[in-house]
Amino acid sequence: MTQQVQNSRTTPDVVVIGGGIVGLACAWAALRDGATVTIIDRDFEGDRTSHGNAGGIAVTESTPISVNGLYMKALKWLFDPLGPLALDWKHVPTALPWFMEFQRSGNKDRFREISLALAQLNNRVYDDIVPMFEDIGAMDSFYRRGALTVYETDEAFAADQHEWEFKRDLGVRWHAMSADEVRDCEPSLAPVFRHGVFLDDWSHIGDPKRLVTQLRERVKQLGATFVVGAVKALDLADALAPAAVTETGERVKGRRLVVATGAWSAALAGSIGDRVLLDSERGYNTTLPAHGISLSREVIFAERKFVATPLDIGVRIGGAAEFAGLKAPPNYKRSDALLALGKRFLPGINDKGAVKWMGHRPATPDSLPVIGQSPRAPSVIYAFGHGHLGLTQSATTGALVADLLANRTPGIGLEPYSISRFRN
């Protein structure tokens, strides 16, 4: 993409910082409202978290990751070098406040509060995302086939029943499946699963990277200006035209600034005095273009903490959570471990031409995104921290941000997602 230079004589209504799925959705919604929009990103076509996700529209994920008892499981996982969780011990001092808040998020009352706030977002996802997909021409690779969670043991299935019933109270539609029903639903699975849970409202897209490209091109057609640059700070000196300041010193001004830089957003918030607990939950996957199996929908392997999704570009096997910060090099042995699990539970899968990937999920300890105005500067609006749900909640976040930009009352109360929750 050729860099477009911002006209120095005009100040756009909105500068969106970040060209991933969330930033582009915010830009799309603002443009549709008639706002003038500039988007700034270090590399619009470069690899990003939005490209490598599993493709799921995970509207059923309305409970936080920090469930009761997870801490003890996590300690055991840490001693498995290729288990579902890894922690670079050099990162511990930096991450300690995050993990302390993560543990508090599993408290019964706080868990319920978080779940209600997640459900408030997820229960309106299709109302927001379908019009966006229609407008950008993505409906041909949007598959509303549900998803299947599978269990190898009676014990694991029984242990999750309380959470499944709670999810039903939150509006999640699901039904249990027997071993025979699981095999009938997805014959390519190994015949080792004793139970399944079918998620009626889950869906997936065919190619996350293509979706980002389609949305970016549509935003360009709608008139957005693109500026290439890595933003290092926000500058509020001019109250009428705050600026995003790049590493080269360029100042990109707008009447409002939207911070949507994923796992890199904490530094920008910090540059104006807003504290946030945000870490990179590094995720890995392997995409198999010549997989040679039949898979109709995303499959979630409950005990092993990984997923397999039938994308248009191949079966993607992904998962894992690694906390090592933004700068540590990828450990692709984790992709290899996921592929080994995929081969075990999808026998006969072909790994020829396998493509490995690692991305930075922007994770808050309470699993809630940060959406809303800065308490220090109403001209700054935050839209980051979606963790595993960036794609799922992208259009809804864009709609809420557009409400704020247009001085409308948002469709839902934004207090649960405010950055102010991290003040103490």
Each residue's pLDDT tens digit, 141-152: 999 999 999 999
Angle between helices 390-405 and 21-32 (to 10 degrees): 40
What pLDDT does residue 84 have? 75
Same domain, residue pair 42 and 139: yes
Q: Cα(136)–Cα(28) distance, rounded to whole angstroms? A: 10
Residue 213 sits in the same domain as residue 333: no
In this structure, are 59 and 91 located in the same domain?
no
Burial class (CB in 10 A: 0-12, 13-18, 19+), 243: buried
pTM (2 d.p.): 0.95
| Vertex 279: Cα angle to 255 and 159 (nearest 5) | 125
Q: How far apart are CA 173 and CA 119, in angstroms?
A: 12
Domain final position from 363, 388, 403: 363
pLDDT at 85: 79
Please give the pLDDT value at position 80: 66
Question: pLDDT by residue (tens digit) across 317-373?
Answer: 999 889 999 999 999 999 999 999 999 999 989 999 999 999 999 999 999 999 999
Same domain, 62 and 173: no
- 43 lies in the same domain as 88: no
Kindly state whether residues 135 and 193 are assigned to the same domain. no
Find the CATH number of the domain harbouring 183: 3.30.9.10
Residues 53 and 156 grouped into a single domain: no
Domain that holds residue 195: 67-106+145-201+278-363
Same domain, 376 and 414: yes
- The gap from C-alpha 47 to its chain's centroid, in whole angstroms, comes to 15
Q: Judge if 100 and 128 occupy the same domain.
A: no
Angle at 232 between CA 406 and CA 385, to 5 degrees: 55
Pair (17, 50) in one structural domain = yes
Q: Provide the residue-wise pLDDT of the chain in tens; the chain has 424 residues.
A: 334 444 444 899 999 999 999 999 999 999 999 999 999 999 999 888 899 999 999 999 999 987 655 555 665 656 666 677 788 888 989 989 998 899 889 899 999 999 999 999 999 999 999 999 999 999 999 999 999 999 999 999 999 999 999 999 999 999 999 999 999 999 999 999 999 999 999 999 999 999 999 999 999 999 999 999 999 999 999 989 999 999 999 999 999 999 999 999 999 999 999 999 999 999 999 999 999 999 999 999 999 999 999 999 999 999 988 999 999 999 999 999 999 999 999 998 999 999 999 999 999 999 999 999 999 999 999 999 999 999 999 999 999 999 999 999 999 999 999 999 998 6
The domain boundary residue, chosen from 363, 382, 410? 363
Q: Tokens 């840490």 correspond to what residue?
A: 78
Any idea what the CATH number is for the domain that residue 137 is in? Answer: 3.50.50.60
Cα 411 to Cα 403: distance, rounded to the nearest angstrom: 8
Say if residue 55 is in the same domain as residue 195.
Answer: no
Same domain, 22 and 155: no
Alpha-carbon distance 276 to 273, whole Å? 10
- Cα–Cα distance, 44 to 216 (Å, whole number): 9
Burial 290-308 (b: 16+ CB within 10 A, else e): ebebebebbbbbbbbbbbb
Q: What is the DSSP string of 279-291?
A: EEEEEEEEEETT-
Among the three residues 318, 336, 363, which one is the final residue of a domain in this structure? 363
Domain total in the chain: 2
pLDDT tens by residue, 261-281: 999 999 999 999 999 999 999
Instruction: Round to whole Å and give the CA distance between 119 and 58.
Output: 11
- Measured CA to CA, the distance from residue 209 to residue 126 in angstroms comes to 20
